[in-house]
Every structure is written in structure tokens, then in C-alpha cells.
Structure 1
Amino acid sequence: MILKGAVLIPDIPDSGGDVLDEETIRKVSLIFNRQVNLIDVQHTLQSVGSILESYITDDEIHFLGNTYPKGTWFVSVDVTDPEIQDAIRGGEYTGFSILAAPYRSVEEMKREGVE
């Protein structure tokens, strides 16, 4: 089962209430792609598939009836676990989330060499 959707949207609160700007989202996506690159469920760290695409939009885009601003982070994933596929089809899972140990600022990420 291949799924595509937004992970983080600039200046829109995520499910935890955090609001990230476009530059921070870009940095977070680089950390994820370079160091984590794991698709799991509810942050269990047990793989249920693989990432096929991960990108930041260069312009505003329209996807599935919604408009997303420039700087939105999208992923496409291949969910290979049959039980998770069934849960997605049943509406139990409806979006993406990332597990992160947040940096205090983009400047801190720069000091850590993430660019």
C-alpha cells in the first residue's frame, strides 16, 4: 500500500501544537532523511514499511482538495505490514507524525552541522 501526504506544514500547528517555519521544516526533514528514515506506527520504532519519496514543496500545491503552502514537507511511503494496511483502510490511522528530539533553534542545528 503506497500512501502520500504532508508531514509538516509551515506556520500551521501540528498535532502537538508546535508551529514550525519553512526553514526549520527543511532542517527537520534533512535530519529525518539522513539519520532516521523509519516508517513505524505510534513511534514504536518497529518498521512497517519504507520511504519512497521525501521532499519539500517549492511552490504552493493542491493535493487531494487541499492547498499547501511552499515549504510543506511531503512523503510517500510503502506500508508493507498487512495489519497496518487494514488499520489504515479502516480509518484508524489518518496522517503522518514524526518523532523528534527538537532542537531549540535553527542556529543550534547549524552548530550541529545539519544543513
Structure 2
Amino acid sequence: MIVKGAVLIPKIPDTVGDVLDEETIRKVSLIFNRQVNLIDVQHSLQTIGSILESYICDEETTFKGNVYPKGTWFVSVDVTDQEIQQALRDGEYTGFSILAAPYKSVEDMRRKGVN
């Protein structure tokens, strides 16, 4: 099963209230794509699929009836875990999240060797 959606949207608070700008989202997506590249459920660190696409929109984009601003990070994921596929069909999961790292900034991540 392939699912696609926005991961981070510039200037829109995420579920914990963090607001990121376009440049920070780009940096975070590059770190994720280069080093993490893990798809799991509820930050369990148990792989349930793989990333097929990961990109930043270069212009305003409409997806599934919603308008997303330039700089939105999208991913497409091939979910291979059968239980998670069913949970997605049942509407149990409705979005993507990134695991918060214990760093104050992208620059702090670089200093710690994460980039």
C-alpha cells in the first residue's frame, strides 16, 4: 500500500506547537533523507515500509483538496506491514510525524555529527 502526505508545512504549527520556516524544513528533510530514512509507527523504530519519494514543494501545491504553501515537505511511503495497512484503511493513522531529536537546532545537530 502506498500512502502520500505532508510531513512539515512552513509556518503551520505541528501537533506539539513547533513552527518551522521553509529553510529549516528543507534542512530537516535533507538530514532525514541522508541519515534516518526510517518509516515506523508512533516512533516505535520498527520498520513498517520504505520511502518512495521525499521532496519539498517549489511552489504552492494542492493535494487532496488542501492547498499547501511553497516549502512543504511531502513523502510517499510503501507500507509493507499488513497490520498497519489495515489500520490505515480503518483511519487509525491520518498523518506523518518526525521523531523529535534532542537538539535545539539544525546547527546543534551538525555540531553533534548528525548531518
TM-score (normalised: structure 2): 0.92
Look up the SS of the partner of 2:51 in the other structure: strand
- 1:69-94 deviations in Å (ceiling 9; x for gaps): 00000000000000000000001001
CA distance in 2, matches of 1:69, 1:12: 10
| In structure 1, C-alpha distance between the alignment counterparts of 2:108 and 2:92, rounded to whole Å | 36
State the shift of 1:109 in Å: 5.0
Q: Which runs of 5+ in 2 are unaligned?
A: none
Matches of 1:76 and 1:106 in 2, distance apart? 24
TM-score normalized by the length of structure 1? 0.92
Distance change (3 Å), C-alpha of 1:103 and 1:24:
farther
- Deviations, residues 11-30 of structure 1 (Å, cap 9, x unaligned): 00001111100011001101
Where does structure 1 lack aligned partners over 5 or more consecutive residues?
none
Q: Any runs of at least 4 consecutive aligned residues in structure 1 with deviations exceeding 3 A, and if so which?
A: 105-114
Match of 1:63 in 2: 63
Q: Distance in 1 between matches of 2:67 and 2:110?
A: 30
